[in-house]
Amino acid sequence: MRHALLITSLLISCSHEPAKNTTDPGQPGKENTAKDRKLVDSLKEKPGLKKRDTTPTCESLFDSVGKCLIPAHENVYNIPVKNAPTKGATKPLVTIVEFSDLECPGCRYWALNTFPAVLRKHKGDVAVVFRHFPLSFHPLAPMAAQALCAVRAKKGDTAFWKVHDFLYTNQQSMTFEFLLAKPPKGSKTSKDPILAQFVALLKGLGIDPVAYRRSLLLETYKKVVEADVAFGNSISVNQTPQVFVNGRLLENHEQLEDAVEREIKRAKKLMADGVKRENLLSHIAGKGSPILKLPIPEKTIRTRLTKLRPTFLTQCKTSEKLKPLVEIMKKCNAIHVRCPAFTRCVNERMKELASSGGRN
């Protein structure tokens, strides 16, 4: 047992800089006694001793590299919201910014279910801000984004959100003709009831369908959408919906409600310290630069590791899709004990795997 503890301490010490030895190993001294040499000899492998199975398990892999999966700092993003469509509280404790695509099925669920539920529960405390991020593989998304811009330019945020909800509700019925609010050629009305409802909605909002249609054909608001996309790219938005809560990216494993509750507590503490309610977002995220890096407390890292562990173990043991990644992680973990080197190793080997078409 004494030897086992010594070996463990030696292994742990490998993750730190080695201490300098001021004693000449070739000369007698306190660090170079016959007793020490006898101890070293006792640690050598003895004939017939059964070798311990050192094949890494999912559990041992997580224990070793789990800390590398949790960032040591978090980014707080300074996302402009002043001129973006907004609903909810006028002086919110929590501002949610969503980068969205009108053809994205996941965005549809968030738009019609998740956000309304949060706004109802935290009425007066939460605001939702919409930023356009049409994905390249959704052919209708850019025009749909421009359609919302055209509506907002004419009739403001109230009209924007009504058309926003209508487009998401009828997402599966969307076509170019639908977005153009254009009846079939040679007809003043449409037999398509959804298209007819859209035209009626525009008219009910006081929007001339002909002028609206002209703005889409001329791509009047194309640059507005492109500006949102460019900003999203600058802060590494790479999917939809991508959600930020008071400037902090909502992680895939995190529930929106949990993030909102966390930020409400943080906001109330700031107000108790003297920050005005209307200045909360600028105080939290508006530090001048697009991204502010803040160290994450050790206690928070441990909590996140505890939450991540079950998901990691399940995926590690059952996901065929992730098997190549798991094997690469095991190999890199055998070589590197520090997170930066381990992460570089994994990224480089994943790139090699991708370039080889998935062949090891």
**Distances from the Cα of 290 to the Cαs of 72, 75, 253, 286, in angstroms?**
19, 10, 24, 8
pLDDT at 186: 55
DSSP 239-302: SSSEEEETTEE--TTS-HHHHHHHHHHHHHHHHHTT--GGGHHHHHH-SSSSEEEEEPPHHHHH
Amino acid residing at 47: P
Beta strands 248-249; 291-295: pairing state:
unpaired
Out of 96-110, 188-202, 222-236, pick the least confident: 188-202
Distance CA(256)–CA(252), nearest Å, equals 10
Q: What is this structure's pTM?
A: 0.69
pLDDT at 277: 95
pLDDT at 184: 65
Q: In the 8-state DSSP scheme, what is residue 29?
A: B
243-259: pLDDT as tens digits: 999 999 998 667 899 99
167-187: pLDDT as tens digits: 999 999 999 999 999 876 656
- What does the mean pLDDT of the chain come to? 83
Helices and strands of the chain, counted as H and E runs: 15, 7
Distance CA(281)–CA(246), nearest Å, equals 6
Q: Is 206 left (phi over 0), alpha (psi -120 to 50) or beta?
A: left
User: Fold for domain 76-244?
Assistant: Glutaredoxin (3.40.30)
Q: Which residue has the higher pLDDT, 50 or 141?
A: 141
| Beta sheet of 86-88, edge-to-edge order | 86-88, 126-132, 94-100, 242-245, 248-249, 73-77, 291-295
Cis-peptide into 241, omega within 30 deg: yes
Query: In the chain, which residues fall in CATH 3.40.30.10?
Result: 76-244
pLDDT at 292: 81
pLDDT at 38: 53
45-96: pLDDT as tens digits: 455 544 555 678 999 999 988 888 887 788 899 999 999 999 999 999 999 9
pLDDT at 322: 85
97-129: pLDDT as tens digits: 999 999 999 999 999 999 999 999 999 999 999
6-30: pLDDT as tens digits: 222 222 222 333 333 333 333 444 4
Mean pLDDT of 287-293: 75
